[in-house]
Amino acid sequence: MSEPVLKIEIRGAIAVLTMNRPEKRNAMCDALLEAIDGFFRAPPAGVKAAVLTGSGGHFCSGLDLSEHVARDAEGTMRHSRSWHEVMNRVEFGGLPVVSAMNGAVIGGGLELASSTHVRIAEPSTIFQLPEGRRGIFVGGGASVRVGRILGADRMIEMMLTGRRYSAEEGLALGLTHYAVGEGEALEKALELAEKIASNAPLSNYIMIQALARIEDMSKADGLFTESLCAALTQTSPDAIEGLAAFLEKRAPNFGAGA
């Protein structure tokens, strides 16, 4: 029996998702994309955060070009839009997602990583968008997500030249939030995922849903949306519990009064 392309391990409130195509440097095929989509469509009950990583020393080397299917313009656009749907589900599904990265984080792999909320990179990590060197253009959301991290000017140069950024360079640019030692990314990801999972579920959900959207809004609309988010969270049972825990100098027990 063949190994699954996506291994899923539940560790208490944390789901660890491991892309499992080591012979392909975890290049993205339709089966792997569908498996990621399937998990985030219906996360197991009790899971409050997810860790996404890769097997065999690499995160994800992008689209598996050996399985490339010739498509016309409409088919290519529909395929790109299907990637957008999956990446949106990762980003906005409501589950905080931490990426533990090493090796290749290239093309579609960087698009996937940039749809997660916290990113950790080991020294072996390489960030690259090589599509321009292959006569194509990004199609999984990089022009929006990676473009917002880097800015259009730097992303244009990155794509024109096919340059690679290291973990330390990625940290300076915002492609990763943490740079750790070799072999330490998963441990750090689990530590942060546990910390995130201990937050109030509603505030986690609101942070995931609101902040990226507020970035798209005018100043006035963003401030109004912020007030709505504050009203929802600050009048919730978890907010009452959080204040009580602070005053009583104890850890909060979120969800107990829900």
Helix or strand holding residue 58 (H, E): none
Cα dihedral sign, 210-216-217-222:
positive
Residue tagged active-site, from 23, 67, 74, 131: 131
Residue tagged active-site, from 9, 23, 67, 111: 111
> How far apart (Å, rounded) are the C-alpha atoms in residues 219 and 198?
31
- DSSP state letters, 197-254: HTS-HHHHHHHHHHHHHHTTS-HHHHHHHHHHHHHHHHTSHHHHHHHHHHHTTS---T
> How far apart (Å, rounded) are the C-alpha atoms in residues 193 and 50?
7
Identity of residue 192: L
Beta-ladder partners of 51:
16, 98
Q: Is 111 labeled as catalytic in the residue annotation?
A: yes
Q: Is 157 labeled as catalytic in the residue annotation?
A: no
For the annotated catalytic residues, the residue numbers are: 111, 131
